[in-house]
Structure 1
Amino acid sequence: MPICAAVTVVLTAAERRRLKKMAYGHKTPHQARQRATVVLLAARGRGNARIAAETHLHVDTVRTWRGRFANGGIPALADRKRSGRPARFTPVQVAEAKALACRLPAETGVPLARWSCPELAAELTTRGITGPVSASTVRRWLRQEALKRWQHRSWIFISDPQFRTKAERVLDLYARTFDRVPLDEDEYVISADEKTSIQARCRCHPTLAPGQARAMRVNHTYGRGGALAYLAAYDVHHAKVFGRCEPHTGIAPFMNLVTQVMSREPYASAKRVYWVVDNGSSHRGKKAANRLATAFPNAVLVHTPVHASWLNQVEVYFSVVQRKVVSPNDFTDLAQVAERLRDFEDRYNATAQPFQWKFTTSDRNDLLARLDRHTADHPEISSTALAA
């Protein structure tokens, strides 16, 4: 029988560049890389048998993709559309399933806090929305949307009528101004707070480090070794942390932290040191401000708005401590907890940079304007209520 001659392949410069990217790209799918390689070798005048030997493909496969490119160019190298199995569920059924997932189970009479995929699949069948459907199918439907049923976000209404003024003062200090006057070089901003009830949990079995295809393993059972409070003062513009551990919180432990900072330079001889604090019981109100000014005349206490401790930058540092030091909690006693916190302070101060604080007075104004529009549309919400 006569042997069919191989189809001649001629490439333009643009096609050659594109095929080379497909053949040598690290993120190119394997099949696309093979097809591009076949075309490039065919353009060099090589026969199908030789290409098959070099690419470890069957000669019929080489002949197919060579002919497909010759007839349709680069677009012909893609897979053709396939009919596939007919869909078992209609678009309307899928939409109703997603709508049910977007409702709280309690609103439909189901005593659950949130839907799981197996429970949602069973509910769809019970209501007659669909026939028998698997949990994996429901999970695939929901994965296509932005809906994440396993997540939730909390929110709070702030009723502080002086929110605008207090927030502006704190945000201006972060921008190195106070009462519209730029801060001098010998004026500092300290953000301070307490992280309460850090426990010493001694695990009944040693914690195992991560291994091959295995996460860190922490034993569930533990012995209680007590708890302590970690007080920290964070220099906002110099990324310097001063911390101390106390048996409990209160006025005396907080003043110990203030004394620890204010008794050293450059804060002892500074013109002003502004202390940004929330409305905790150990530093709340006018009495706390007077107490601080009496002990250190160059110290000024600045309160965040009520229910707005998220404006206090030391909370960001506490979140770092929680992730890097406290969790998972496996300490033999409180002395080890305190030592770990002190060592982490030294490590943090050696390399820390000031936080890139992005919430400015402009963002505050936008927030308040949005809330004003919201309260106008919902008169039942107090006009002084602010959302955080």
Structure 2
Amino acid sequence: MGRRPEVFVRDLSMAEGQRLQRITRTAKDPVRLRRAIVVLMSAQGQPAPDIAHLLKATDDYVRQVIHAFNERGFDALNPKRSGGTPNKIDEQTRAWICAIARCDPRFLGQPFSCWSLPKLRDYLITAGRVTTISVETVRRILHERGVSWQTTKTWKASTDPEFTAKMRRILDLYDHPPPGSRVICVDEFGALNLQPRPGRAWQPRGQPVRLRATYHRDHGVRHMIASLDLTTGKIHYRIRDRKRSIEFLDFLKTLRRRWPGQTLHLILDHFSPHKHPSVRAWCQDNDVDLAFLPTYSSWLNWIEAEFAALRYFALNGTDHRTHTEQDTAIGDYIRWRNHHAKPKTGYAINSKIRHPDYPFKAA
């Protein structure tokens, strides 16, 4: 039997030769590197048996690489990856797993109100959806389909029959303050009792700050009445022992003295002191307009975000022993904040509440 005719790679251009050299120097995939070496050595005139001996490969392997490169070029250097074992769980079953995971287990006759992964796996097998499946596979399928373990939350929708009109008026005041006037958000913050407040701080790992526990809180509570001036972005406040209409009216008088000659548009909720006859009468006589929020819609009051920041930066992580100490901490934070304040513009610009059809009605 005669010797097989020798096989060599086709003639390479200078650019192709340089590219092959780069691949042999930089390729991280061992298959791609090995094939590039075969082609480069063949281009240098070495026969297939010599290349096979050097690389500890078979002659047929070397010839296959050379033939493939001659036919397909540099694409032949890339390894063909196997797709792995096919999925044993088809798409319809995966969709069913996600649908069952989103169901209340009680609707399916189970004696619990939420799924755990083992309980979900057992139900899938018992119900005949699958013959066998691991907890990890269930977790991975849910993750791939965007189904995650989440905390349930409550939401109280407004029952105000004039919700849309009131909301539009508030947004219009935010967007277009009337000339010669001030738009001011007003609300109460508290109750301010004395207690250790959990918070966050940078600490060495495993060494959190420890706060005392309190069983008796006999120092009473105080209340803060505050306003947010949208023109400057500054907060003005008073801390009082009570929050009756008397204290609220006194606070409004301080706002009136602060901005004489300007109409004050106050955005506030339906807390009873805000609507007391004495408050309404005084506001009518002193050019103060009361713009009430829709019921259950405190999120429309811009000052609520400032209260969240106040609680986070001035109170969380503290353990004040006296009201004087706590009041001082609140005052220090508000002075710092007012020093960095900027005018308030652009309330919820990209929110769905800006849509003309909000609140959306069910079809």
For residues 181-240 of structure 1, what are the alpha-carbon distances to aligned partners after superposition, in whole Å with 9 as ceiling and x for unaligned? Answer: xx22x3101001112234443379x986333xx488354762265654333200123211
Where in structure 2 are the equivalents of 1:1-388 lying within 5 Å?
42-43=18-19, 45=21, 48=24, 51=25, 62-64=33-35, 80-177=80-177, 183-184=178-179, 186-202=180-196, 209-211=202-204, 214=205, 217-219=208-210, 222-223=213-214, 227-264=221-258, 267=259, 269-284=260-275, 288-294=279-285, 297-328=286-317, 330-353=319-342, 354-358=344-348, 363=354, 365-368=356-359, 370-371=360-361, 374=362, 377=363
* Distance in 1 (alpha carbons) for counterparts of 2:310 and 2:213: 21
How much has 1:101 moved relative to structure 2? 1.2
Question: Match of 2:304, SS?
Answer: helix
Number of residue pairs matched? 323
* Distance in 1 (alpha carbons) for counterparts of 2:247 and 2:296: 22
How much has 1:6 moved relative to structure 2? 12
* Distance in 1 (alpha carbons) for counterparts of 2:170 and 2:238: 24
* Distance in 2 (alpha carbons) for counterparts of 1:147 and 1:58: 36
How much has 1:285 moved relative to structure 2? 6.2
* Distance in 1 (alpha carbons) for counterparts of 2:212 and 2:122: 35
Q: Does structure 2 retain, via aligned residues, the 8 Å contact 1:232–1:242?
A: yes
How much has 1:102 moved relative to structure 2? 1.5
* Distance in 1 (alpha carbons) for counterparts of 2:94 and 2:267: 52
More off after superposition, 327-336 vs 135-144: 327-336
How much has 1:154 moved relative to structure 2? 3.5
How much has 1:286 moved relative to structure 2? 5.7
For residues 94-117 of structure 1, what are the alpha-carbon distances to aligned partners after superposition, in whole Å with 9 as ceiling and x for unaligned? Answer: 222101111123322335443333
Which of structures 1 and 2 has the bigger CA Rg?
A: 2
1:29 aligns with: none
More off after superposition, 81-90 vs 270-279: 81-90
For residues 81-139 of structure 1, what are the alpha-carbon distances to aligned partners after superposition, in whole Å with 9 as ceiling and x for unaligned? Answer: 32324434333332221011111233223354433334323333343433454433222
* Distance in 2 (alpha carbons) for counterparts of 1:138 and 1:309: 41
Q: Assess, with a 3 A threshold, how the Cα gap between structure 1 residues 59 and 273 changes in structure 2: closer, same or farther.
A: closer
* Distance in 2 (alpha carbons) for counterparts of 1:111 and 1:245: 51
Letter in structure 2 aligned against 1:137: T
How much has 1:262 moved relative to structure 2? 2.9
Q: Assess, with a 3 A threshold, how the Cα gap between structure 1 residues 336 and 132 changes in structure 2: closer, same or farther.
A: farther
2:43 aligns with: none
Alignment gaps of 5+ in structure 1: 13-38, 178-182, 378-388
Richer in strand (by share):
1
Superposition CA RMSD, Å? 4.1
Q: Does structure 2 retain, via aligned residues, the 8 Å contact 1:195–1:318?
A: yes
* Distance in 1 (alpha carbons) for counterparts of 2:13 and 2:275: 82
1:28 aligns with: none
For residues 142-165 of structure 1, what are the alpha-carbon distances to aligned partners after superposition, in whole Å with 9 as ceiling and x for unaligned? Answer: 112233341445333322222233
Q: Assess, with a 3 A threshold, how the Cα gap between structure 1 residues 61 and 324 changes in structure 2: closer, same or farther.
A: same
Q: Assess, with a 3 A threshold, how the Cα gap between structure 1 residues 46 and 282 changes in structure 2: closer, same or farther.
A: closer
- TM-score normalised over the length of structure 2: 0.71
* Distance in 2 (alpha carbons) for counterparts of 1:315 and 1:278: 11
For residues 24-78 of structure 1, what are the alpha-carbon distances to aligned partners after superposition, in whole Å with 9 as ceiling and x for unaligned? Answer: xxxxxxxxxxxxxxx9xx5385694xx3xxx697987633357699776787787
Question: Match of 2:195, SS?
Answer: strand
For residues 322-348 of structure 1, what are the alpha-carbon distances to aligned partners after superposition, in whole Å with 9 as ceiling and x for unaligned? Answer: 333343454444444322222221222
2:54 aligns with: none
Q: Assess, with a 3 A threshold, how the Cα gap between structure 1 residues 96 and 165 changes in structure 2: closer, same or farther.
A: closer
- TM-score normalised over the length of structure 1: 0.67
Q: Does structure 1 retain, via aligned residues, the 8 Å contact 2:196–2:320?
A: yes
Q: Does structure 1 retain, via aligned residues, the 8 Å contact 2:121–2:133?
A: yes
Letter in structure 2 aligned against 1:63: R
The percentage of aligned residue pairs carrying the same residue is 21
Letter in structure 2 aligned against 1:320: A
Alignment gaps of 5+ in structure 2: 1-7, 40-64
How much has 1:175 moved relative to structure 2? 2.0
Q: Assess, with a 3 A threshold, how the Cα gap between structure 1 residues 88 and 165 changes in structure 2: closer, same or farther.
A: closer
* Distance in 2 (alpha carbons) for counterparts of 1:9 and 1:271: 84
Q: Does structure 2 retain, via aligned residues, the 8 Å contact 1:196–1:249?
A: no
1:20 aligns with: none
Q: Assess, with a 3 A threshold, how the Cα gap between structure 1 residues 262 and 58 changes in structure 2: closer, same or farther.
A: closer
Letter in structure 1 aligned against 2:347: W
* Distance in 2 (alpha carbons) for counterparts of 1:147 and 1:336: 47
Q: Does structure 2 retain, via aligned residues, the 8 Å contact 1:207–1:216?
A: no
